[in-house]
Structure 1
Amino acid sequence: MISDVLLTKLARVKVPGGDVLHAMKCCDPGYMGFGEAYFSLIKQGVVKGWKRHQKMTLNLVVPVGAVRFVMYDDRPLSPTCGQFQQLNLSPDNYGRLTIPPMVWLGFEGLGGSESLVMNLADMMHDPEEVDRLALADIDFNWSGSL
């Protein structure tokens, strides 16, 4: 695991007519406050990335479809500097991925025609605090398997 990245297993409550999928409580690990919640759609086979937030903590949940998340740590003082971490989230592997500021993130749609990613961020989106790189700028083999 990359230093300061958390994976928290979440409850999926079976109920007739459709399950309830928990996302976050204010007492959960990774909760750093509330700024905004938003959804991203990603089509199967599409890769989005690379981006990192300078200040924002991400809390990512995949209630629909399946998504592979890849994180890269280039923080000079981090014990995991230079390392990658990847994992898949879906309703069958249901959890919340907490990514601290300054960790690079890319993600790939795996399941169905579209997957849904929810971010429960600790601050409102600010385009001035986001860094972006092209996929080729970080040496990662996206065609490799998890």
Structure 2
Amino acid sequence: MPIEGVAIKKLIKHCDDRGFFMELLREDDAIFGRFGQASMSMSYPGVIKAFHYHERQDDIWYFPVGNAQVVLHDKRPDSPTFGETNVYYMGEDNPYLLFIPRGVAHGYRVLGARPATIVYFTNEAYDPGNPDEYRIAYDDPEIGFDWRTKFR
């Protein structure tokens, strides 16, 4: 069952012999709330950046380069999906935006042999004097997620 409040926007590439064009986020998108900040980060193969969550901030994630395994865990006690964990595979091979509501812990692992770049949008600008970021270990037993790749 998908975590309550999480939303996906499939991205559409318009290709021709020059390359492609793709809209990411528009102010009239249902997935969009209030704009706060746009940021970008690159991580090397195999890196795990997990977990953290916010009390005031919503995130929208996009991986334009590389691929990632994204893991969400609902920490909101009043949510019908409290305690649920979801996994999404995102990146250049599967392009979409992922809306992550406040109170949902999130993190990712870079897949494949090359770095991954994440571009993310938030509804608040980062305030170093009052950061809305709460860390949880990637191997937190409450979440209990196994990051290892499973072979069948």
Q: Report the TM-score when normalising by structure 2.
A: 0.89
Q: Does 1:133 align with 2:136?
A: yes
Structure 2 gaps, min length 5 = none
- The answer to whether the 8 A contact 1:67-1:90 is kept is yes
> In the alignment, which residue of structure 2 is the partner of 1:99?
100
Render the CA deviation track for 1:29-82: whole Å, top value 9, x for unaligned: 221111111101121111101100111111111111111110001211111111
5 Å matches for 1:19-34? 19-34=20-35
Say how many residue pairs are matched.
Answer: 145
Q: What are the equivalent positions in structure 2 for 1:1-146 lying under 5 Å apart?
A: 1-127=2-128, 128-137=131-140, 138-145=143-150
CA distance in 1, matches of 2:67, 2:134: 25
- 3-state SS of 2:28 partner: coil
Matched letter for residue 56 of structure 1: Q
Q: Deviations over 1:113-139 (max 9, x none)?
A: 211110011110135211001112231
TM-score (norm: length of structure 1): 0.92
Taking only aligned residues, the RMSD between alpha carbons, in angstroms, comes to 1.4
Structure (1 or 2) with the larger CA radius of gyration: 2
Q: Distance in 2 between matches of 1:143 and 1:60?
A: 22
The alpha carbon displacement at 1:144 in A equals 4.4
4+ residue segments displaced more than 6 Å? none
Quote how far apart the aligned CAs of 1:15 are.
3.0
Q: Which whole-Å CA distance do the structure 1 matches of 2:20 and 2:116 have between them?
A: 17
Residue identity in the other structure for 1:68: Q
Deviation, structure 1 residue 26: 0.4
For residues 80 and 144 of structure 1, the distance between their equivalents in structure 2, rounded to whole angstroms, comes to 25
Give the structure with the larger helix fraction.
Answer: 1
In structure 2, distance between residues paired with 1:22 and 1:77: 34
